[in-house]
Amino acid sequence: MDREEIRVAVLRIEGTNCEDETVSAFRALGVEAEAVHLKQFYSDMIGDDEARNIWDYSAVVFPGGFSAGDYVRAGAIFSARIKSKLRHDLELFIKEGYAVLGICNGFQILVELGALPGFDEDRPVADKPEMALAINDSSRFECRQSYLKHENSGKCIFTKLYRKNEVVVFPVAHAEGKVTFPVGKEEEYLQQLEENDQVVFRYVDGQGNYAGYPWNPNGSYSNIAGICNVKGNVFGLMPHPERVIHPWQHSDWARKRRDEGDGLRVFKSVIEYLERF
């Protein structure tokens, strides 16, 4: 499809707070994007001009924030609402190859939903969560830049424009970001993710080496910061690419020359994918 035909929905409910900058990132690249309240997809109380349908869009983004106040667990309430209202459509949307992105709270939502790790291509939304984003090892909200190594070999449609093993800088801002697999199955999960080329970003230190806290801000298993599903069209990550789309959003902008912010290629990559769709 042509770039002008691409439409992106950034879904919000009470407590999401990164929808505007996520919409801006897409709009900066000439794509029609809008923040859509989940109720616009299904409520009878919404008038015709406000009502939306998931099939109006070619990409759906779950933005960062504190949806429903992070009560129960971060992302649990948003994902429960999706499950009751949109599960079938979302599953079909993913099967058809459309794009789904979850940033930070959005990653938590996709995990709670069972859409990540997304090992089963025929059942892209699992019946129950298969992994968790647990409370950070520090028990604190961690808010700062993080170094990420791009480890995907080409499956993830959101990172095709990053070189393999390239190190980029995106900020993190979360309290529940520790990638956790079922106890006793960690190695098995990791092996499956690696064999399927589903590991996208890992936390590293400033030299690009795997390192513990504070480089790994939450204690994530195997330093994992972001993964995609087995098809490569659902991507979730804890760091925020939409907060570094301009060079001057980087803390070292005065010293290091960049043509654009490190996060912009996430949005460029998926647009290029959809243009070929």
Asked whether position 12 contacts ligand GLN by CB under 6 A, the answer is no
Would strands 7-12 and 99-103 be described as parallel, antiparallel, or unpaired?
unpaired
Catalytic residue among 130, 142, 242, 250: 242
- The yes-or-no answer on residue 250 being catalytic is no
Cβ atoms < 10 Å from Cβ of 141? 13
Name the one range near ligand GLN by CB under 6 A: 94-102, 148-156, 163-171, 172-180. 172-180
Q: Which of 6, 116 has the CB closer to ligand GLN?
A: 116
Least separation in angstroms between CB 197 and ligand GLN: 26
- The yes-or-no answer on residue 242 being catalytic is yes
Looking at residue 65, the DSSP 8-state letter turns out to be B
Q: Which residue among 52, 149, 155, 174 contacts ligand GLN (CB under 6 A)?
A: 174
Pick out residues in 100-129 that bind ligand GLN (CB under 6 A): 104-105
| Binding residues with ligand GLN: total (CB under 6 A) | 13
List, in order, residues 6 or more apart from 241 with CB less than 8 Å away.
25, 103, 170, 262, 263, 264, 266, 267
Distance CA 191, CA 193 (A): 5
Q: Which residue spans within the chain are E strands per DSSP?
A: 7-12, 32-37, 59-62, 99-103, 132-134, 142-150, 167-174, 178-180, 199-204, 224-228, 234-237
Q: Which residue has the tokens 């520790």?
A: 178
CB–CB of 148/168 below 8 Å? Answer: yes
Catalytic residue among 104, 112, 176, 250: 104
Q: Which of 159, 218 has the CB closer to ligand GLN?
A: 218
Q: Which of 86, 173 has the CB closer to ligand GLN?
A: 173
Which residues are the active-site residues? 104, 240, 242
Rule CB under 6 A: which residues touch ligand GLN? 64-66, 70, 74, 104-105, 141, 173-177
